[in-house]
Amino acid sequence: MGMFTLPNPADIVASVKDDALKRQAVQVGLSVGYSQYITGLYELGKAIQGKRFIGFLGPIFIKMAASCFCLLQFQTTEKLVYFGVSKELMEDKALLDSIYVEEIQQK
C-alpha cells in the first residue's frame, strides 16, 4: 500500500443507490474525461506546430481532436455527454467541416 490510494470509480458509482444519481455520476465522469482529452490534443497540437523535428505532429493532433469532437457531438444530442472544449476549436469551421462524419442508423 502506498502513501495514498485512489478510490475505484466503479465502486463509487455502484455504492450509489439512486439510479438517477448513478447516471449523473457516469455522465459527469465521461464529460470531464472527453473534454480533457479533446482539449489536451488540441492544445498540444497548437503548441508543437512549427517546432523543429516534431512540428509535423501538430496538425495531426489538431485533426485528432476535431474528429473526436465531431464524433462525440452525436452523443450531446442525446444528452449523454457535455463538452467544455477550447472556443478556438469550436469556431474553426474549416477544420470541423473537413471531418466527414456519417451517422449510422440502427436497425
pLDDT (tens digit per residue) in 39-94 = 999 999 999 988 888 889 999 998 998 888 888 877 776 677 777 888 888 888 78
- Residues in Cβ contact with 87 at an 8 Å cutoff, skipping those fewer than 6 apart: none
DSSP label of 101: -
78 vs 15: which has the higher pLDDT: 15
Instruction: Report the pLDDT value the prediction gives residue 47, as an integer from 0 to 100.
Output: 92
72 vs 4: which has the higher pLDDT: 72
DSSP label of 80: S
Instruction: Report the pLDDT value the prediction gives residue 34, as an integer from 0 to 100.
Output: 87
- Residues in Cβ contact with 22 at an 8 Å cutoff, skipping those fewer than 6 apart: 13, 16
